[in-house]
Amino acid sequence: MNEQLDRLSRLPLRDDLRGQHPYGAPQLDVPILLNVNENTHDVPDEVREAIVKAVDEAVTGINRYPDREFTELRQALADYLGHGLRAENLWAANGSNEVLQQILQAFGGPGRTAMGFPPTYSMYPLLASGTGTAYLKGVRADDYDLTAESAAAQVREQAPNIVFLCSPNNPTGTALGLDVIEAVYEAGEAQQAIVIVDEAYAEFAHAGTPSALSLLPGRERLLVSRTMSKAFALAGARVGYLAAAPEVADALRLVRLPYHLSAITQATALAALRHSSQLLANVEDIKVQRDRIVEGLRALGLTPSPSDSNFVFFGGLQDSHRIWEGLLEAGVLVRDVGIPGHLRVTAGTEAETTAFLDRLGELLA
C-alpha cells in the first residue's frame, strides 16, 4: 500500500486531492452482507424476465446512440412519483451520485461552497472536492437531530451556495420534518442557495412520513434526488434521478456527458418501473425486518435510532470494533461508520436478521 501511495504521489495530482482516500466500504466474501444498504431481496422472477426482455430489445439498436433526453424514462419516473410532476421535472443519471455530481458541476465549483450536516452521507464532501467546491460542515444536536431553527441559523451564518439535506439521513436513518426543509430554503434566499433533499431511502419510510416532493411547487431552487438502487433492487444497474423545476434539468444539460444514460440502463429502469408493485412488495418485507432489528436491539440493551430507511444505526456498544469483528467472524458484515460506540446494519431477509441478532446477542453476553 505504501508503494502504491508513493507512486501516486509522483503524479502531478491536484493539491486538494493529495492525501485523500476514495469512497468505499469493505467488499468481503461473506455469507451475509449487511453493510452497504443494498436491497437484500432478489429481483422477482417476473421482473427479472421483463428486464432481460427489455435489454434484449434494446440491444437490437445498440449500434446507435440512445435517446439523449431519455424521454420515455422521464415520463415513467414522473408517473411513479406523482405529486403533479411531468417529464420536464425529471432528470436521471448513472446513480444518484452522478446526479449530485452534475448539480455540483452546474451550481458549485471554485469560489462556491456546499454545506452538509454530519454525520451524513460521506460522499457529499468527496463530490464537492471533485468539483472544486469548498465543503462546509454544519452541526447536529448530541442525539444527531437537526431542527429547523438550528439548520436555518447555520445556513444564514455560513451562506452556502448548495445545501445537502439527507432524509432519511444516512447513517442515522431518521427523516427530516418538512419544516426543516422549508426553513433552510428560506434561509438560503439571500444567496439563492440550491437545496438538495436526498431521499435515497424514501420508499422505506414509515406511513405518514412526508416527502419533500410536496414542497416543490413554487420553489425553483429545491431539488429532490432519489435512486432505484434501494427500493427497486437495482444497485448494479446504477440509476438515480431527481425531481425539480424544469429549468434545473436545463442547467444539468450544460454539464452532462453526451448520451450519458445508456440504452441498456434506460431499458432496465423502464422495465423495473412497469413492475414497481412487485418490487415494492419486497420493501414492505424489508421494513418488517428493520422494525424487528430495532426491537431486538432494544431488548439487548442497545440504543437504536428511529429509522425510516432500510438500515438501523445503533449505539450503546462498549467496543464497537470488537463487535464488528465478532460479527464478521460469524459471516455477518455490518458497517462501522466511524462513530465510537456505534454501528449500522442493513435490514436483511428474515434469516439474515435472525443470524445478526443471534450473533450480536452472543457477543454482548
- What is the predicted pLDDT for the residue at 17? 84
Q: Which of 239, 274, 309 is the last residue of a domain?
A: 274
Confidence of residue 23 (pLDDT cuts 50, 70, 90): confident
- What is the predicted pLDDT for the residue at 311? 98
How many domains does the structure of the chain reveal?
2
306 and 162 together in one domain:
no
The CATH number linked to 168 is 3.40.640.10
| Residue 61 placed within a domain | yes
- What is the predicted pLDDT for the residue at 111? 97
Share of the chain above pLDDT 90, in %: 92
Provide the residue type at 7 as one letter. R
| Residue 124 placed within a domain | yes
234 and 317 together in one domain:
no
Provide the residue range defining the domain that includes 123.
Answer: 45-274
Mean pLDDT of 122-145: 96
- What is the predicted pLDDT for the residue at 202? 97
Contacts 24+ apart (CB under 8 A), 145-152: 145/174, 146/117, 146/176, 146/180, 147/180, 148/177, 148/179, 148/180, 148/182, 148/183, 148/184, 149/183, 151/117, 151/180, 151/183, 151/184, 151/187, 152/183, 152/184, 152/186, 152/187
- What is the predicted pLDDT for the residue at 4? 83
Distances (CA, A) of 219 to 80, 215, 318: 21, 7, 45
Three cell numbers at 141?
444536536
Reply yes or no on whether the pLDDT at 345 is more than 70: yes
For residue range 293-337, what is the model confidence (pLDDT) as tens digits? 999 999 999 999 999 999 999 999 999 999 999 999 999 999 999
Reply yes or no on whether the pLDDT at 25 is more than 80: no
269 and 152 together in one domain:
yes
Q: Which of 274, 302, 318 is the last residue of a domain?
A: 274
198 and 318 together in one domain:
no
34 and 89 together in one domain:
no
269 and 284 together in one domain:
no
- What is the predicted pLDDT for the residue at 357? 98
Q: Which residues lie closer than 8 Å to 46 by C-beta, 6 or more apart?
A: 275, 278
- What is the predicted pLDDT for the residue at 21? 79
| Residue 38 placed within a domain | yes
113 and 223 together in one domain:
yes
| Residue 10 placed within a domain | no
Q: Give φ, ψ of 220 to 5 degrees.
A: -75, -15
- What is the predicted pLDDT for the residue at 20? 80
Confidence of residue 353 (pLDDT cuts 50, 70, 90): very high
| Residue 37 placed within a domain | yes
117 and 65 together in one domain:
yes
pLDDT averaged over every residue in the chain = 96
Mean pLDDT of 283-300: 97
206 and 270 together in one domain:
yes
Confidence of residue 1 (pLDDT cuts 50, 70, 90): low
Distance of CA 58 to the CA centre of its chain: 28
- pTM, two decimal places: 0.95
**Residue 245 contacts residue 91 (beta carbons within 8 Å):** no
298 and 350 together in one domain:
yes
Residue 53 CB: number of other CB atoms within 10 A?
A: 12
Share of the chain above pLDDT 70, in %: 100
70 and 156 together in one domain:
yes
Work out whether the CA dihedral 279, 280, 284, 290 comes out positive or negative: positive
Q: How far apart are CA 182 and CA 222, in angstroms?
A: 10
Reply yes or no on whether the pLDDT at 136 is more than 70: yes
Reply yes or no on whether the pLDDT at 26 is more than 80: no
- What is the predicted pLDDT for the residue at 60? 96
**Residue 235 contacts residue 269 (beta carbons within 8 Å):** no
242 and 358 together in one domain:
no
Q: Which of 274, 300, 333 is the last residue of a domain?
A: 274
